[in-house]
Structure 1
Amino acid sequence: MPLRIENHLCYFTLDVDGQEQSLPATRVKILTDHDKAMSYVELAGERIYITEAEADALTVEGATDGRNHVKAQEPGSVI
């Protein structure tokens, strides 16, 4: 999991070595990658992809929810 939240601070794992960067939840903005149909936050110039449960947890802590709901254009799609 690339994210943990403690006392309204969000800690994002930036690399495989476990390096973390933190910032207050109120400074986090959750966005949508339409091509991947996934939520992410931008941090240190990189996209950190997160689950919808993590996105919801961030919004509870005060993050800005800038997500867009992605709708399938093809019949039978799972989204």
Structure 2
Amino acid sequence: MPIEINETTKRCTLIADDLNIEGEAAEVQIITDADLRMSIATLAGQRVPITEAEADALTVAGAVDSRRHLKTSEEGSII
């Protein structure tokens, strides 16, 4: 799992191969990467691909949800 969330302090850690960055959940932004076809958590300029369940958990902890839900009617949609 590339994230850890402390429910008490609302701090989270994003984990990747060469990255382990911690911060307030409110400092995390969740975006959609259409090329990767998944959500990305960003913190302090670092990007970590995450599952939708992890994105939902981060938003519950206070992260900013900036995901864009792609639709078949949108030009360039991956659906």
* Interval containing the TM-score (normalised by the shorter chain): 0.7 to 0.9
Q: CA deviation at 1:9?
A: 0.6
Q: CA deviation at 1:57?
A: 0.4
CA–CA separation in structure 1 for the residues paired with 2:37 and 2:70: 6
**Unpaired stretches in structure 2, ≥5 consecutive residues:** 74-78
Asked if 2 retains the 8 angstrom alpha-carbon contact of 1:3 and 1:12, the reply is: yes
* Equivalent residue runs for 1:1-79 within 5 Å: 1-6=1-6, 7=8, 8-15=10-17, 20-43=20-43, 45-72=45-72, 79=79
CA–CA separation in structure 2 for the residues paired with 1:11 and 1:29: 13
- The residue type equivalent to 2:13 in the other structure is Y
Q: CA deviation at 1:41?
A: 1.6
RMSD: 2.1
Q: Identity across aligned pairs (percent)?
A: 49
Runs of at least 4 residues of structure 1 off by over 4 A?
A: none
CA–CA separation in structure 1 for the residues paired with 2:17 and 2:56: 23
Aligned residues: 73
Distance 1:27 1:44, change over 3 A: closer
